[in-house]
Amino acid sequence: MPAFLVRPASLVTIPFIPLPGVPVTLPSLASSLSDSVTAAAARLGLSELAPQVRRSEHADFQADGVLAAARILRRRPRDVAAEVVAALPADGLVAAAEVAGPGFVNLDLTDRALLAQLADRLAAPRLGVGTPETGVTTVIDYSQPNIAKEMHVGHLRSTIVGDALVRILEHLGGAVVRRNHIGDWGTQFGMLIQHRVEHPEPVDTTDVTTMRRLAALYRRARAKFDADPGFADRARQRVVALQAGDPQTVAAWRDIVAESTRYFTDVYDRLGVRLTDADAVGESAYNAVLPDVAADLERQGVAVTSDGALCVFFDDVRGPDGEPTPLIVRKRDGGFGYAATDLAALRQRVTELRADRLLYVVDARQALHFRMVFDTARRSGWLPPTVPAVHVAFGTVLGPDGRPFKTRAGDTVRLVDLLTEAVDRARDVVAAKNPGLTGAALDERARQVGVGAVKYADLATSRTRDYTYDPQRMLALAGNTGVYLQYAHARIRSILGRAGGAEAAVDPTAALDPAERALILDLDTFADTLTEVVAGYEPHRLCGYLYRLAQTFTTFYEHCPVLRAEAPTRGNRLALCRLTGDTLRTGLELLGIDAPDQL
């Protein structure tokens, strides 16, 4: 069983001993408490009790599960809960434990335990976040733009969600292979190249304008293809020439691909996304192995010929007419479609890249396609049972009218335009709030804030649901936005800067303010949150966590002066600032959002 499938079994209490250089997960207070309750249950012989410790409004934590256990034991829940409370180990962790309601166990921790945890987490490498992904190789497919087409807002989610997952998996010690499966092959290149041959144009130097012209060329070629049968014929011949490897045609195709790739790189740089040329493996890269993919499937009997096409059939996949709908590996005309390409890529990712896990960050509309591809790969043995393949689906972008966002020419919102507007708006706000900032420094800050806002807006909602493209929401700089987190972080850096040296010494004997308690409790769940994010490939949970943390910090900020406080409170509050600041910065980095020291 791969390491990432093993759920941490917190049945045994293991003292946390950080080894130098070895990143270990610092057990959270919740997991320590869970151990305590389990120990109490064991002492009482209550094997039926599976405690679920979670945060509570009525106490620091509540332990659930007593009600279910009492039901099995046919005993009064409150009696069982009282016994558990009485049997809790006296380890200095729990300050107060009481039975509440029908049989809940409310648990309050001692200030000392909270402060000790704060000190441990500050001292631990990497904020106590371990590397559970060590030894696991993930191949993740995301972004997937098309050559000769501009990237629009529909590409944003795949690119940003994928980038965040890459960062998080790598942070947890995993090896991640990024694959940008670019659409660089197909019949549309025939008309594109033919049009260019018939109407040669000088190549511009700036990437974005080049791309804009290339996209316009695409539209003109398309129009001519539809209107002029003679041109359509020449375009079809051009496709044949391209596939046959005609040098002049291939050279033209390479030019178009190169222009587009430069443009993609430019967009990725603006976005601060870690995708490079090396990660771009276009569909054309698999051309040579497609015949073998087909032959292998056919030899194994997974694929059969139907209506002249090589098809894989599925018991439960049928069309509106009730007839089975196959995955078409090879078309009747002998050509290969994207199913063949995806299968070839999958096989290569497992066999050559040694993937332990395959992720595809792709629009939810491709769900059936991926089901068929994965099923085919399982049947053919290319995808072993030990390797999970997950379609990390996200909802469709809807237009301002609530209708699906159309990608018709002229109707798309260019990603570049969205980013430009975001940065422009951010520049206005930054300049107004911070008049001292000018020139390149202002531009950089505007970029960090503007792009951060767009990314956060896209990452913060759960990825499965459709979402409405709403520039006002994406570009907002107030409320639950990326800026709120950046602002909280900047305030913290400001305090730490004013404090000067390393005064963040924790004194565990001090008494805690409620706002300080709440902050320690929130800070403690960072590592657990990352585990949740990976379990469901859901970066929005990290957004939710960071927003909550920033809110809790702001409450602390309002109630608890740091620099004016006396020792030992001052040292403890500085420690809280430091840990909160580091957690916010690390969390934002994992989302791909910059956390400048000043706004």
Instruction: Please give the residues from 246 up to 285 whose contact with RNA meets the rule CB under 7 A.
Output: 283
Secondary structure (3-state) at 556: helix
Stretch that binds RNA, among 135-143, 169-177, 205-213, 468-476 (CB under 7 A): 468-476
Question: What x-and-dash track marks residues 109-138 binding RNA by CB under 7 A?
Answer: ------------------------------
Binding window for RNA (CB under 7 A); candidates: 9-17, 256-264, 375-383, 464-472: 464-472
Report the interhelical angle of 439-459 vs 154-171 (nearest 10°): 90
Check residue 318 for interaction with RNA (CB under 7 A): yes
Q: Which residue in 498, 501, 509, 566 binds RNA (CB under 7 A)?
A: 498
Q: Choose the binding region for RNA from 14-22, 190-198, 235-243, 314-322 (rule: CB under 7 A).
A: 314-322
Among candidates 80, 91, 82, 89, which has minimal Cα distance to 40?
89
Question: Is residue 319 part of the contact set for RNA (CB under 7 A)?
Answer: yes
Applying CB under 7 A, among 203, 300, 433, 441 the residue interacting with RNA is: 433
Give the list of residues 6+ apart from residue 373 with CB closer than 8 angstroms, or none.
327, 339, 342, 343, 346
Q: How many residues bind RNA (CB under 7 A)?
A: 106
The separation between the first and the last C-alpha atoms of the chain, rounded to the nearest angstrom, is: 46
Query: What tokens does 563 get?
Result: 């620099």
Name the nearest CA neighbour of 470 among 408, 412, 402.
Answer: 402
CB of 91 to RNA, least distance (A): 21
Quote the DSSP letter at residue 366.
G
**287 is a contact residue toward RNA (CB under 7 A):** no
Q: x/- binding map, residues 8-47, to RNA, per CB under 7 A?
A: ----------------------------------------
Contact letters for RNA, residues 170-189 (x by CB under 7 A): -------------x--xx--
**Cβ contact 292:303 at 8 Å:** no
User: What is the distance between the alpha carbons of residues 463 and 53, in angstroms, rounded to a whole number?
Assistant: 27
Min dist. Cβ of residue 474 to RNA (A): 10
Closest distance of CB 175 from RNA, Å: 27
Min dist. Cβ of residue 376 to RNA (A): 14
Identity (one letter) of the amino acid at 430? V
Whether a cis peptide bond, with omega within 30° of 0, leads into 568 is yes
Q: How far apart (Å, rounded) are the C-alpha atoms in residues 357 and 269?
A: 27
Q: How far is CA 584 from CA 29, 273, 386, 550, in A?
A: 20, 19, 35, 8
Residue 354 engages RNA in binding (rule: CB under 7 A): no
Nearest to 587 by CA among 535, 550, 536: 550
Given the rule CB under 7 A, which of 235-243, 248-256, 294-302, 562-570 is the region that contacts RNA? 562-570
Distances in whole angstroms, Cα of residue 411 to Cα of each of 152, 415, 484, 510: 10, 13, 32, 62
Tell which one of 16, 71, 86, 216 touches RNA (CB under 7 A): 71
Residue 76 lies near RNA (rule: CB under 7 A): no
Whole-angstrom distance, CA of residue 216 vs CA of residue 210: 10
Among 110, 210, 287, 494, binds RNA (CB under 7 A): 494
Nearer to RNA, 23 or 162 (CB): 162
Q: Which is nearer to RNA, 86 or 367 (CB)?
A: 367
Measured between alpha carbons, how far is 40 from 42 in angstroms, rounded to an integer? 5
Span interacting with RNA, options 131-139, 261-269, 320-328, 580-588, rule CB under 7 A: 320-328
| Closest distance of CB 23 from RNA, Å | 27
Written as six digits, the tokens of 231 are 């041109």
User: Looking at 544, 568, 586, 589, which residue binds RNA (CB under 7 A)?
Assistant: 544
Q: Which is nearer to RNA, 50 or 177 (CB)?
A: 50
Distance CA 529, CA 587 (A): 10
Q: How far is the CB of 342 from RNA (least distance, A)?
A: 9
* Residue 401 within binding range of RNA, rule CB under 7 A: no
Burial class from Cβ neighbours inside 10 Å (0-12, 13-18, 19+) for residue 403 reads exposed
Sites for RNA among residues 367-396 (CB under 7 A): 367-369, 393, 395-396
Out of 13, 434, 517, 586, point to the residue binding RNA (CB under 7 A). 434
Q: Report the C-alpha gap between 177 and 165 in whole angstroms.
A: 12
Q: Can you tell me which of 209, 351, 407, 468 binds RNA, judged by CB under 7 A?
A: 468
Alpha carbons 557 and 490: distance in angstroms, whole number: 12
Q: How far is the CB of 64 from RNA (least distance, A)?
A: 4
